[in-house]
Amino acid sequence: MPVEERIIAGLLLSTKEPTEILNTVKPQWMPFVTATIEEKLSVIRPTDPAPEIFPWKHDLSEGIVYEKFNESFFTQPDLFLRLRPGRENKVTNKLDNAGIKYDSPIEGCLALPITTKIEDLIALNHDAVIQDLSSQQTGKLLESIKDEIHDVWDCCAASGGKSIMAIDVLGKINLTVSDIRESILHNLRKRFREAGIRNYRQFVADLSQSRPDELTQTFDLVIADVPCTGSGTWGRTPEQLYYFQIEEVKRYAALQRKIVENAWHALKPGAYLLYITCSVFRKENEENIEYFCKNFPAELMRLEVLKGYERKADTLFAALLKKTS
């Protein structure tokens, strides 16, 4: 099966709604959008029960089982909630009263059908945060160093999900957040208000270009949830497979190295950097960690490939580095 047809096959298998791409490239498959997985597979390729949807098998991070990852494109991921400390019973009681079914894959996390209108049931960000299971599990790396952390910089903060988790895991911290655009921080401020977070510092910075002039202090921890291909999340947006060019991996890897280089100088000696991507590509993950350990005074403390494809979640990469001097 040619690469483009594999990608369109993945789109058909993972969606229940008509899409423009599918209608343009394979209009004959449109009547099967709402069919069962078995019926869709019989249309795509009757002699192949599991067509190869993801074409870059040999570029994956170590430990990712290609067959299982490939199969994950056939199933829509779940919606995950991270329950905020002290509000666990409040959330589950509301869900129970509404007759909403859920599972608890790990402590403090609920998995619900992706179609659940959770915003109508609970106070998002105050009681619980919508956060993928694998993203929640990066908090385990923070738990291992929580007694050493006071000053934290979330340098690619986006809408603030990792910052909220850091506060919940680490307790009372001095928090600084930044991102590349003011519009991103606008969304963060709204989310922080909902979460009850008021004491923090913020600024706009493009770390791919230079070290920020706004920084006048050093930190015990820098969280670098860096821009990436997003390939670990394509089960939620399989159309990304259609548009993606493999050359983009190299561009993102270089961008990530520049961001970490400019953030690294803000670490105190003996401090930590938590590096996170939502990528499955080795070049963005292990190869970058090898580069940091070779070119910075850095020691790798822990590395995780979070295989969300086994649990209807995203697949992420996380590594905890320590500045040795």
Are 137 and 198 within one domain?
yes
Based on the structure, what is the number of domains in the chain? 3
pLDDT at 315: 98
Tell me the residue range of the domain where 62 lies: 3-74
- For residue 38, pLDDT over 80 is answered with no
How confident is the model over 294-315, as pLDDT tens digits?
999 999 999 999 999 999 999 9
Per-residue pLDDT band at 46 (split at 50, 70, 90): low
Are 239 and 120 within one domain?
no
- For residue 48, pLDDT over 60 is answered with no
Q: Which of 28, 57, 74 is the last residue of a domain?
A: 74
Least confident piece of the model among 56-60, 72-76, 196-200, 279-283: 72-76
Per-residue pLDDT band at 49 (split at 50, 70, 90): low
- For residue 51, pLDDT over 70 is answered with no
Q: How many Å apart are CA 140 and CA 168, to the nearest integer?
A: 12
How confident is the model over 182-214, as pLDDT tens digits?
999 999 999 999 999 999 999 999 999 999 988
Q: How many Å apart are CA 40 and CA 159, to the nearest integer?
A: 36
DSSP class of residue 85?
T
CATH number for the domain harbouring residue 220: 3.40.50.150
> Is residue 118 within 8 Å of residue 81, measured between CB atoms?
yes
Q: How many Å apart are CA 197 and CA 308, to the nearest integer?
A: 29
Q: Where are the beta strands (DSSP E) in 265-313?
A: 267-277, 298-306
How confident is the model over 79-110, as pLDDT tens digits?
999 999 999 999 999 999 999 999 999 999 99
Q: Is the dihedral of CA 137, 142, 144, 146 positive or negative?
A: negative
Q: How many Å apart are CA 155 and CA 169, to the nearest integer?
A: 18
Q: Which of 74, 94, 110 is the last residue of a domain?
A: 74
92 CA to centre of own chain: 24
Three-state SS at 114: coil
Q: How many Å apart are CA 248 and CA 177, to the nearest integer?
A: 27
Are 138 and 126 within one domain?
no
Looking at per-residue pLDDT, the higher value among 17 and 49 belongs to: 17
> Is residue 262 within 8 Å of residue 129, measured between CB atoms?
no
How confident is the model over 228-278, as pLDDT tens digits?
999 999 988 877 887 899 999 999 999 999 999 999 999 999 999 999 999
**What is this structure's pTM?**
0.87
Are 155 and 275 within one domain?
yes
> Is residue 157 within 8 Å of residue 188, measured between CB atoms?
yes
> Is residue 172 within 8 Å of residue 197, measured between CB atoms?
no
Are 97 and 193 within one domain?
no
Are 47 and 151 within one domain?
no
Are 183 and 312 within one domain?
yes
pLDDT at 75: 82
Are 145 and 237 within one domain?
yes
Give the chain's mean pLDDT: 92
Per-residue pLDDT band at 45 (split at 50, 70, 90): low
Identify the residue whose tokens are 């905890």.
Answer: 320
Residues 6+ apart with CB under 8 A from 223: 152, 153, 154, 155, 156, 162, 163, 166, 273, 274, 276
Q: Which of 89, 112, 130 is the last residue of a domain?
A: 130
Are 60 and 193 within one domain?
no
pLDDT at 137: 98
Are 176 and 124 within one domain?
no
Pairing, β 316-323 against β 219-225: unpaired
- For residue 146, pLDDT over 70 is answered with yes
Least confident piece of the model among 115-119, 161-165, 197-201, 297-301: 115-119
- For residue 7, pLDDT over 60 is answered with yes
Are 31 and 160 within one domain?
no
pLDDT at 2: 60
Number of other residues whose CB lies within 10 A of the CB of residue 145:
19
Q: How many Å apart are CA 10 and CA 323, to the nearest integer?
A: 42
- For residue 52, pLDDT over 90 is answered with no
Are 183 and 291 within one domain?
yes
Pair of tokens at residue 44: 């795509």
